[in-house]
Amino acid sequence: MTALYDLRFKFQNQTRYYKGKVRDVYTIADKYLVMVVSDRISAFDVVLPKPIPFKGQVLNQVAEHFLKATGKTVPNWFIHAPHPNVSVGYLCQPFKVEMVVRNYLAGHAWRVYKEGGRVLCGVKLPDGLKENDVLPNPIITPSTKADHGHDEDISEAEIVQQGLVPEHYYEQMRHYALDLFHIGTQMAIERGLLLVDTKYEFGLLNNEVVLMDEVHTPDSSRYFYADGYEQRQSAGETQKQLSKEFVRQWLIENGFMGRENESVPEMSNEWINTISQRYIELYESITGMAFQKSTDSNNILEIEKQVNEYLLQLSLDQ
């Protein structure tokens, strides 16, 4: 199996380069972005040492699916995906805040709640909830977006007070985040899934707020299977889910949560293949389409060729 882990590309009219945890972002002519989605996988803000075959393709194509589906409701940065691992879109001025929307008490929210926390990012949580219970209403629990290291929880009031986002832009982000979550919830229900929580990133394009980056992917979102949810919850059983939470749980069970002096446990080939298959399962479950494995995701010359041909056409069309 091929995997794209740490390749550096050269694209036409490239002006800047940024390497993220999972995505490598190339600025083109200070107007466009080429986002290459690698097969790297991160957890607890740490990039794990081995790639997951086809993970980048899954993330890119799921994001493309939802960016196209939601674009008429919430404007976004996306233009086209010239390669299964690559998206091209408009260069935006990002806000250093992630909008996390939750409809169930799971993941980070549950870990805070289990330790006695009843206020998360300024949002008061009711007593008496169990892990994976549905919340009274979807809530927004933002976090700061760190270039390096850990993201931090922050309240909506603190975002405005600290000047991270001007209030009028934040209100638009809030409105868009809830609209996107509503659409994502309805699309998930149609596929027999429950959208548990997700994160959105926004920026400015021509002084207008637009959605950036990925949307409703297994790296940014958590899904439960709707069938049997109530029965499992009543019985206190673990929910069957589609997300990368199973990777986090495996790391926790093997003594790793990204803290100082902790080492990433060894990832066997069998475990890597399991992760890859789980990502493909999510793609097929959420889109309803069969996954077609790319055969050239680590071919630097072929990816450069396809992207550069598209960039040339894009420049001619402008």
DSSP 318: -
Tokens describing residue 119: 């206020």
pLDDT, tens digit, for every residue of 209-249? Answer: 999 989 999 889 999 999 999 999 999 999 988 888 889 99
Q: Cα separation of 179 and 77, whole Å? A: 17
Mean pLDDT for 108-122 is 96
pLDDT, tens digit, for every residue of 20-33? Answer: 999 999 999 999 99
DSSP labels, 209-246:
EEEES--S-TTTEEEEESTTHHHHHHTTPPPPEESTHH
Residue 147 has pLDDT above 80, yes or no: no
pLDDT band at 315 (very low <50, low <70, confident <90, very high): confident
pLDDT at 241: 85
Which domains does the chain possess? 14-90+247-317 (3.30.200.20), 93-243 (3.30.470.20)
3-class DSSP state of 126: coil
Whether 255 and 281 have beta carbons less than 8 Å apart is answered as no
* CA of residue 193 relative to chain centroid, distance: 17
Q: Cα separation of 165 and 93, whole Å? A: 12
Instruction: Label the pairing between strands 143-144 and 193-205.
Output: unpaired
pTM for this model (two decimals): 0.90
Tokens describing residue 132: 């994976």
pLDDT, tens digit, for every residue of 153-187? Answer: 999 999 999 999 999 999 999 999 999 999 999 99
What is the side-by-side order of every strand in the sheet holding 32-37?
14-19, 23-28, 32-37, 86-90, 78-83
Query: What does pLDDT average to over the chain?
Result: 93
Q: What is the rounded end-to-end Cα distance, in angstroms, of the chain?
A: 38
